[in-house]
Structure 1
Amino acid sequence: MNSSDGPELHEGIRLQKVLAQAGVASRRAAEDLIFRRRVEVNGEVVTEQGRRVDPVNDVIRVDGKRIPPQAAHLYVVLNKPRGVVSTMEDPHGRPALAEIVRTFTPERLFHVGRLDAETEGLLILTNDGDFSQRMMHPSFEVPKVYVAEINGVITEASLKNLRKGIELDDGPVKPDKVELLQRGTDRSLVRVTLHEGRNRIVRRMFDEIGQPVRQLSRIAIGPVRLGDLKPGSLRELTREELGALLDLVQL
């Protein structure tokens, strides 16, 4: 370690340097953000230019948006294809997540939650154990959004039943939102938002109303959107996505 690094690490790092390293702005532009009172540290608006911070433990925001610390961990979004099981390795030889992940990074990652083999869409993978546990804990109620293609023409009565809540064999489920996207002659598209993570819960909801799911895709987890990410492709979480998720799970 360079001897000149010691005092800065001991006393904290200048806030404008932290913002520049996070890619928010150049140091000069960061000074302007501070001057215009657009930066907060631990809930307090910063007014002095020489403020030093702990970039790992202090909560820093610009215009109210959380700026996550420089990542000591990796946070990855995957569009899981149909037919791939949500385990890193499968003892039965089925296609598994590790085969896809190793094309992106040699890091050992684990998945946050799961999707059944026939459901495609958004999975988050990470090597941050605290983050993963909180994301999966029901008390934080991270919303997840699915699009279901179902057999037949769904009726208003069925949509009303879904919105009201469905009684399943392991307890009731009440979605946060149910939206009809398309109603065709032999199929319907329905978007479902819920924060539960029970096994095959969306499929079981539609089974219960007598209209099984043909295809199912998860398109969002909290602020993270699948967008145009192709099946089998991966990308890192953006700074904005990670900051919002850290807030959601209170890290």
Structure 2
Amino acid sequence: MSEKKYRLNQYIAKSGVCSRRKADLLIQLKRINVNGSLITKLGYKVSENDIVELDGKKLIIQSFQYIVLNKPKGYITTVKDEKGRKTVMDLISHNLNKRMFPVGRLDKNTTGVLLLTNDGDLSQKLIHPKNKVEKMYHVFLNKKMKESDYNKIKKGFALDDGFIQVDKINVVNNSDQKELVLSLHSGRNRIVRRIFEFFTYKVIKLDRILFAGISKKKILRGKYRHLSKKEIGFLKMK
């Protein structure tokens, strides 16, 4: 029986290092060796018996892991922080976090749904702007939302880095117009906070309740669960 062959970028991605797109860049930057030889050909094929190295470190194909974390306030969304601050990886079992990384970012003071995986291709797919992945937030404001501002946000308006259009915005019942649920596809930096800051509101609490159809239902703050096969399949279809 012949050995299963992988394109080199696919093998690198399956090792959990990065996506296939970024793997191509590593190959072009002459950082990949196969069986002791430098490889720069993007379509080069390898098997599991070949020794593939990145900067001299052997890469091994990993089984993919997918989890959803209910992120608490005060944690940085990164694998490692140079200033020694708490990161979301501190909340994940050491048996899982060796190769895992967050899918996108949540601000330090933003809570809620955060996916983590070692599947670089899926991560790249979910955060790429062209795929327009939906995010839903529960927004708490410092003052009542004016109807005129609500209508402008609903209609869409221009920020300094371009036009922004939300998908849905609704005032939470019995919240005195200080709480809203907002859905959008944009992945721009701090976009939800910036939307309300534009209209002179301060976001005092921001909780992501949905990302790419995955919720934090029944997950305590600071805890996580593995995604089901159905959920993983749903994400890969996006």
| TM-score after normalising by structure 2 | 0.71
* Residues 28-67 of structure 1 aligned to structure 2 (within 5 Å): none
Letter in structure 1 aligned against 2:102: H
Q: Quick one: which of 87, 90, 94 aligns to 1:96? A: 87
Residue 168 of structure 2 is aligned to residue 190 of structure 1: no
| TM-score after normalising by structure 1 | 0.67
Shift of 1:211: 1.3
Q: Distance in 1 between matches of 2:136 and 2:95?
A: 25
Shift of 1:88: 1.3
SS at match of 1:175: coil
Shift of 1:168: 1.5
SS at match of 2:169: strand
Q: 1:47-99: per-residue Cα shift (whole Å, max 9, x none)?
A: xxxxxxxxxxxxxxxxxxxxxxxx93101101111110111111112111221
Q: Quick one: which of 217, 222, 233 aligns to 1:227? A: 217
Q: Distance in 2 between matches of 1:140 and 1:118?
A: 26
Q: Whose Rg is larger?
A: 1
Q: Distance in 2 between matches of 1:209 and 1:183?
A: 22
* 2:11 aligned partner: none
Instruction: Give the 3 Å change call, closer, same or farther, for CA 151–183 of structure 1 in structure 2.
Output: farther
4+ aligned runs moved over 2 Å, structure 1: 102-107, 182-185
Contact 1:150/1:211 (8 A) holds in 2: yes
* 2:118 aligned partner: 127
Contact 1:112/1:136 (8 A) holds in 2: yes
Instruction: Give the 3 Å change call, closer, same or farther, for CA 178–73 of structure 1 in structure 2.
Output: same
Letter in structure 1 aligned against 2:164: V
Q: Distance in 2 between matches of 1:106 and 1:133?
A: 18
Residue 102 of structure 2 is aligned to residue 111 of structure 1: yes
Shift of 1:169: 1.5
Contact 1:153/1:183 (8 A) holds in 2: no
Q: Quick one: which of 202, 206, 209 aligns to 2:192? A: 202
Q: Quick one: which of 219, 232, 235 aligns to 1:242? A: 232
Name the % identity. 36
Q: Distance in 1 between matches of 2:108 and 2:229?
A: 30
Letter in structure 2 aligned against 1:128: D
Q: Distance in 2 between matches of 1:236 and 1:134?
A: 19
Give me the CA root mean square deviation: 2.1
Shift of 1:104: 6.3
Letter in structure 2 aligned against 1:213: V
> Which segments of 5 or more consecutive residues in structure 2 lack a partner in the other structure?
5-61
Q: 1:99-127: per-residue Cα shift (whole Å, max 9, x none)?
A: 11235625420111000101011110100
SS at match of 1:220: strand
Letter in structure 1 aligned against 2:137: Y
Q: 1:134-175: per-residue Cα shift (whole Å, max 9, x none)?
A: 111111111010000001111221211111113212112110
Query: How many residue pairs were aligned?
Result: 181
Letter in structure 2 aligned against 1:232: G
